[in-house]
Amino acid sequence: MTRLTLRLLVSLALSVAVAGCGIPKEKHYAALEAERNRSATELKAAQDSAQEKWALEHKKLQDTSDYAKGQKKRADDLEQQLGRTKKALDEATAKGGNKAKILAQCTLDRQALLDKLGKVQGIIKKVRDSLKSMSDAGKLQVKLDRGFLIIALQGDILFDSGKSKLKDGAKPVLLELAGVLKLMPDRLFQVAGHTDSTGKDDQNWKLSTARASSVVNFLLTEGGVPPKVLSVGGYGSWQPAADNKTEEGRATNRRVEFLLVPNLTELFK
């Protein structure tokens, strides 16, 4: 039983009691009307309060629902974005993986070439070290030129002017050099003759080649160098090492060189 209902019953009971006590009807009805009006006002206020409370609760529920919907939409958007990001990362990883493999292979190839180059440099050092005593004694010169390691012997020590026959004094030097060459049976050397610019070109070609052939023949027959490691070349006056305008320069250009031939198989196999 509500408070309002209770109040109406009390009012009715009072009305009966008042009527029984001889209270006039006008006052009785006026009091009853006043009580009814007050009850109606309170009822209206109670209804309005309940309506307002319901409206507030409904709004809260609506706001909660809208918030939940908004959160769900944001979650969905984030999930889609994460999906796109993952896809992009997967693609980038795949591409990066291929590039990484290529880079790794290039690194290995580069290291392999460096190792091969190191071996070639080791061979050059070995030749230099083997000839150091002869070089220090001034019997020959070891140098890098035109992409070759070159062992150069002065032509005037080996030959008389215009001749291709070896001097007797040249033989001990060549025998000592032969001993070094035999220590490297897997290396190839080209023996190249050179002249100064004096004389005709065709004569210089023949003279340079003949001198180189004389050196090779001595190394094979007297020095015991394996034939497979030697070859002959003649360059005439076309690869001067000094200025042919001076006597000193021309003397330098009259020479026989041993060119260490690179084994390209070691680099490209």
Confidence band of 186 (pLDDT split at 50, 70, 90): confident
Judge contact between 228 and 190, C-beta under 8 A: no
Work out whether strand 141-145 and strand 188-194 pair parallel, antiparallel, or are unpaired: unpaired
Provide the pLDDT for residue 59.
72
What is the per-residue pLDDT across 37-80, written as a single tens digit (0 to 9) for each? 776 677 677 777 777 777 777 676 666 666 667 667 776 776 77
Write out the H or E segment, with its range, that includes residue 233: strand 230-234
Buried b / exposed e along 209-243 (16+ C-beta atoms within 10 A): bbbbbbbbebbeeebebeeebbebebbbbeebbee
Boundaries of every domain in the chain: 3-73, 131-268
Task: Give the span between the Cα atoms of 255 and 213, in whole angstroms.
Answer: 13
Confidence band of 265 (pLDDT split at 50, 70, 90): low
Domain 131-268 has CATH 3.40.50.300: no
**DSSP tag of 240:** -
Provide the pLDDT for residue 11.
57
pTM above 0.75, yes or no: no
Work out whether strand 188-194 and strand 255-261 pair parallel, antiparallel, or are unpaired: antiparallel
What is the per-residue pLDDT across 164-184, written as a single tens digit (0 to 9) for each? 999 999 999 999 999 989 988
* Rounded average pLDDT over 94-105: 66
- Of 160, 155, 162, 172, the residue nearest 256 (C-alpha): 155
Mean pLDDT of the chain: 79
What is the per-residue pLDDT across 1-20, written as a single tens digit (0 to 9) for each? 555 555 555 555 555 554 54
